[in-house]
Amino acid sequence: MSVQQISVFLENKPGTLKKMTGVLAANSIDMRATSLAETKDFGIARLIVDDAISAINTLKENDFVASLTPVLAIEIPDEAGGLDKLLDKFTDESVNIEYMYAFSGSKSANNAYMIFRVADTKAAEARLTSAGVKILTQEDIASI
């Protein structure tokens, strides 16, 4: 049930991020969420897209170094305390978060979406699902 995140290594110089987004746009790949971390010499773009397999193949065909990582995607109410209530379940189930980032859905749905990277995705998914957390699938992401 996890979602595939694409991590793309980018040289830290002007135009590199634009080149990546241009390749995705030219191939009709829709980004749902993006997180960008950097160091002095390179950056890592973390992407959630509508079609992860197509995106990773397209990026590699265009000489980008990219990899797939399973992450948990969870819908939360777009309201004060929505994330805090979800994190209660992570704490109760002893699930440690390595990193996370968010993206919003349509305002009419009144939801936001969180991406979580954890050490053991399958175990965390089982524990959180048993605690009543709905984990989104790649198909769910494609339809947002």
Q: What is the pLDDT of residues 93-126, one digit of tens each?
A: 999 999 999 987 765 568 889 999 999 999 999 9
Which of 16-25, 26-35, 38-47 is the least confident region?
38-47
The Cα 19–Cα 21 span in angstroms is 6
* Count of all residues that appear for the chain in the document: 144
Domain 71-142 has CATH 3.40.50.261: no
Q: What is the pTM of this model?
A: 0.90
| Every domain of the chain and the residues it spans | 3-69, 71-142
Domain 3-69 has CATH 3.40.50.300: no
Query: What is the bridge-based pairing of β-strands 42-49 and 97-104?
Result: unpaired
